[in-house]
Chain A
Amino acid sequence: MLLRRVTLAAAALSASLSLFLSPDFASAADSGKLRVVASFSILGDLTARVGGDDITLHVLVGPGSDAHVYRPTPGDAAAIADADVIVLNGLGFEGFLDRLPESADFSGKTVIASDGVTARTADGEHGSHGIHGGHPEGHDHTGHEDHDAHDHDAHDHDAHDHRGMDPHAWQDLSNAKIYVSNIARALSDADPANIEDYKARAAALIAEIDALETRTRAAIAAIPEERRIIITNHDAFGYFEDAYGVTFLSASGISTDAEPDPKAIAALIDVIREEGVTALFLENLSDNRLITQISEETGVAIGGTLYSDALSGPEGPATSYLAMFAHNVDALVTAMRGATN
């Protein structure tokens, strides 16, 4: 009896707290807009483009922040509790969200943006050329399962089903189009009144992605095939590699946490010397000392910073998904071309 009263009191308290703590949604309840939560900055940008003025959006892991170390605030929990739709990447990316929707009593609809994407495994089964001697790296992506991406249920977003999957599917523009379609469908289902708006904005965004894809393919086609080698510090570009025929090599694993072994670093240095690789890149959100070290050892200059897991802040070069992708392509192409002079 007492327990029940306490539970009720706690529920009342959290309800009032959630009103208080969720500034994004405070006015949304009145205006009747669809309330949407996106898990990280890249999904947030795509969702904002599709949703436009018809939604209010709360992004959990903002620009320049690492989803691997995200810790939810009460405001995040409140935003999830009040949300109509949550947009997740899936493929095991949102390990940090495992229990939050449940503990926040989320009752809306979850959309997995990567649903329908052909998934890669983290150890590069789909043609990656990583130099890791085949051992799994990265504590939160270890383990290897043969997992068919096509037969998983859209509502089953249990991260344990995705161990060993590479979550960075947005690094392939054609996957981004699938993301946009999934988001548009979910928003339309939840808010049929504005279905035409969502459709129109999604179509416009997909047209922009198509244009960037044409440009990307043309730019990379201009680089001789043997020059298309890139060195970075963590394996976030497997999808890019498969889609556009550029080889990415990295010493550390797919997580930002793994420690490299000396043989792997030596092998990278050998490749750089033998193949005359000229494209050495840092990534945002990573410890760049290893790449700096390799740069010093081989005398190859660092070509800049790639954005993989998060957009940059407003002053950076990657303020939106399209800007991020275009920035990465420009930087990569410039660095690879440097080899010829």
Chain B
Amino acid sequence: MSLYDLLIAPFADYAFMQRALVGNIALSASAASIGVFLVIRRMSLMGDAMAHAILPGAAAGYLIAGFSLFAMTLGGLLAGLLVAISSGLVARATPLREDASLASFYLISLSIGVLIVSLEGSNVDLLHLLFGSVLAINQDALVLMASVASVTLVVLALVLRPLVAECLDPGFLRHAGGSGRFVHFAFLCLVVLNFVAGFHALGTLMAVGMMVLAPSAARFWSESLGAQIALSVLFAVTSSIIGLVISWHAAVPSGPAITLTLGIIYAISVLGGPFGGILTGLIRRPHLQS
């Protein structure tokens, strides 16, 4: 099998494969960099909470506009923002930690969503319809992802410095003044935006995988935040390409193939990464031996 057959042919003939590739690269650029901060803040599980928290918004969109993916996604985005901002407010104003307040708000949101769906009397799995898949990215979804990626990267560049301070020492900016609150909420909005766009275009598995696995793997290779962001994006893009190529040649679903490729990179990093990797720790003898 020539290199062309292996790498180029899968993308040459079919627009759906090209769109899958472009969409994934766009999401890699934004979600994988946002994810670095998510992991630092110990909020890696936020994605799964978000996947449920958006239900009432999606249901409201469905009630108002019927089977309109646009209305359902917009509703989901609003519900997700509401949950993220409410939990952020509670975390800032009370001693409750952010993970606990997020869990509380997402559960409230989810139960409201289930109630709305059943009041409508229709047993249609809205979230199942709302969550896309890698191979069903249409032009609209592509534009959505490209826009989200652009907005994310610009905003991230603007708030990078205070965001780093905020993530490493949340108390610092809280005491220092108002800008910390703004940065915190800008970050939460970016996270929700990336998740909802990711769910809409690629499905939950992909969106969460990009945002959690890539940054988690990257932290084993460098202590510098900038390098972690770059590596995280690199891992996500590489996995997208490798995963799509594998799923093409082996005829398996693309979402799991890409996420599993990321998982393998993560496993290699956990074992062999120079910063905190298991094998590295074994080779370097402990400093203190009593």
Contact = CB atoms under 8 A, between A and B. Distances in A.
Which of B10, B125, B244 has the most chain A CB atoms inside 10 A of its CB? B125
Contact of B14 (A68, A69, A269): A269
Interface string B127-162: 011001101111101000000000000000000000
A67 B141 CA distance: 29
Interface string A120-143: 000000000000010100000000
B123 A69 contact: yes
A266 B14 contact: yes
Interface string A285-300: 1010110111011000
Given A61-B123, A65-B124, A261-B254, A290 B248 contact: no
A293 B16 contact: yes
Interface in A307-336: none
A65 B124 CA distance: 5
B129 A133 contact: no
A294 B19 CA distance: 12
Contacts of A266: 13-14, 17
Interface string A162-185: 000000000000000000000000
Contacts of A135: 251
B138 A289 contact: yes
Given A259-B255, A266-B14, A73 B135 contact: no
B122 interface: yes
A133 B250 CA distance: 11
A325 to B, nearest CB: 22
A259 B129 CA distance: 13
A289 B129 CA distance: 9
A64 interface: yes
A169 to B, nearest CB: 22
A73 B123 contact: no
B179 interface: no
A281 B139 CA distance: 20
A182 to B, nearest CB: 25
Given A66-B125, A262-B17, A287 B118 contact: no
B251 to A, nearest CB: 4
B138 A293 contact: yes
A71 B123 contact: yes
A292 to B, nearest CB: 6
A69 B247 CA distance: 28
Contacts of B252: 261
A68 B254 CA distance: 23
A290 B135 contact: yes
B253 interface: yes
Contacts of A67: 123
A304 to B, nearest CB: 15
A21 B136 CA distance: 43
Interface residues of B, number: 33
Interface in B24-80: 69
B123 A70 contact: yes
Contacts of B13: 266
Contacts of B244: 262
A65 B123 contact: yes
Contacts of B133: 259-260, 287, 289-290
Nearest to A61: B123
A64 B124 contact: yes
Nearest to A297: B15
Contact of B122 (A64, A261, A289): A64
B128 A257 contact: yes
Contacts of B254: 259, 261-262
A33 B113 CA distance: 38
A260 B14 contact: no
Interface in B98-141: 118, 121-125, 128-129, 132-133, 135-139, 141
A287 B253 CA distance: 16
Nearest to A263: B251
A69 B125 contact: yes
Contacts of A257: 128
A290 B122 CA distance: 23
B124 A293 contact: no
Given A292-B138, A296-B138, A297-B14, A262 B124 contact: no
Interface in A239-278: 256-257, 259-266, 269
Given A69-B123, A259-B253, A261-B253, A287 B15 contact: no
Given A262-B10, A262-B251, A256 B138 contact: no
Given A262-B16, A297-B15, 15 more contacts: A62-B122, A64-B122, A66-B125, A69-B125, A257-B128, A259-B255, A260-B133, A260-B135, A262-B14, A262-B17, A266-B14, A287-B132, A287-B136, A290-B133, A293-B16
Interface of B: 10, 13-17, 20, 69, 118, 121-125, 128-129, 132-133, 135-139, 141, 244, 247-248, 251-256
30 contacts: A61-B123, A62-B122, A62-B123, A64-B122, A66-B123, A67-B123, A257-B128, A259-B255, A259-B256, A260-B253, A261-B252, A262-B14, A262-B17, A262-B135, A263-B251, A265-B135, A269-B16, A285-B124, A287-B128, A287-B133, A289-B69, A289-B132, A289-B141, A290-B133, A290-B135, A290-B136, A292-B136, A293-B137, A296-B15, A296-B138
Interface of A: 61-62, 64-71, 73, 133, 135, 256-257, 259-266, 269, 285, 287, 289-290, 292-294, 296-297
Q: Which 6 A-B pairs have the closest CB atoms?
A: A65-B123, A263-B251, A259-B253, A289-B136, A69-B125, A290-B136
